[in-house]
Amino acid sequence: MVHSPTVEPAERTAAGEGYAKSRATRARILAAALAEARDRGFHKSSVARIAERADAAIGSVHYHFGSRSELLRELMRDLMADLTDRLAAATHDGDADFFERHRAELLAYVAYVRANPAHVRLADEIKFLEPDLYRHGVSDWVAQMTTRISAGIADGSVRPMDNSEIAAQAHFLLGARHFLEEMLDRDDQRRDEAVVDTYLGLVRDGLASERCHGGPR
């Protein structure tokens, strides 16, 4: 009978500390990559400067991410996941209709853009530098919006549509965010809700059912 080698408590502790240190180094590198990208843009970010900001060896960057391109892809995935989580948290009210949920999401998005102004520019960069990653992010967002529109149709707040129109409207709502970003006054946060409500009025005119417009049920 073959016995597995016994791992002493001290060895397990050392291994755990090693993993924690490795995770901390990886997190520092990602934070440094974000700072570098904010300052210079993705296309001008270098592994040497990222490593210097992270107080890490260049070899550590390659060990954790393999390449500069993969590091930037991982950074963009993290940014997109963070934004998605924030928007999902803002729309957790199960009793709200489509337009109430969409308004809450838009206000959360505006707050995110204000807190992270460089992230919009970085998202635009990734569209050209990593088109496959960008398309994947767009597909995920459109799928989520398609589900929300379908739920709005089911609860009666959104007018009936077939699948092709639902998909088209989901893409429209994604593209319309650029309009929202351009309308924001960077120096006057008090106008944020007014801008969001004006935008939402346009969306409501195109999507709301007769019941939500005040017409017959």
150-193 confidence digits (pLDDT tens): 999 999 999 999 999 999 999 988 887 777 777 765 666 667 88
Q: Taking the CA atoms of 88, 90, 94 and 95 in sequence, report the sign of the dihedral they define.
A: negative
Tens-place pLDDT, residues 53-80: 999 999 999 999 998 888 888 887 888 7
pLDDT band at 215; cut points 50, 70, 90 = very low
Element (H, E) at 207: helix 192-207
Amino acid found at 144: Q
Q: Which range marks the domain in which residue 89 is found?
A: 68-217
Same domain flag for 134 and 166:
yes
Spatial distance between the Cα atoms of 161 and 169, rounded to a whole number of angstroms:
10
- Residue 191 belongs to domain with CATH number: 1.10.357.10
Residues 84 and 161 in one domain: yes
Q: Among 47, 66, 85, which residue terminates a domain?
A: 66
Query: Which amino acid is residue 13, in one-letter code?
Result: T
Query: Residues 108, 205: one domain?
Result: yes
Residues 180 and 106 sit within 8 Å (Cβ to Cβ): yes
Residue 169 sits in the same domain as residue 137: yes
Instruction: Tell me if residue 158 falls in helix, strand or coil.
Output: strand
Measured between alpha carbons, how far apart are the two ends of the chain, in Å? 76
For the chain, how many structural domains are there in total? 2
Domain boundary among the residues 66, 89, 116 is at 66
One domain for residues 62 and 73: no
Domain match, 108 and 192 both: yes
Same domain? For 112 and 195 the reply is yes
How confident is the model at residue 69, as a pLDDT? 81
Percent over 90 (pLDDT), the chain: 24
From CA 69, how far away is CA 65, in angstroms rounded? 9
Residue finishing a domain among 66, 95, 114: 66
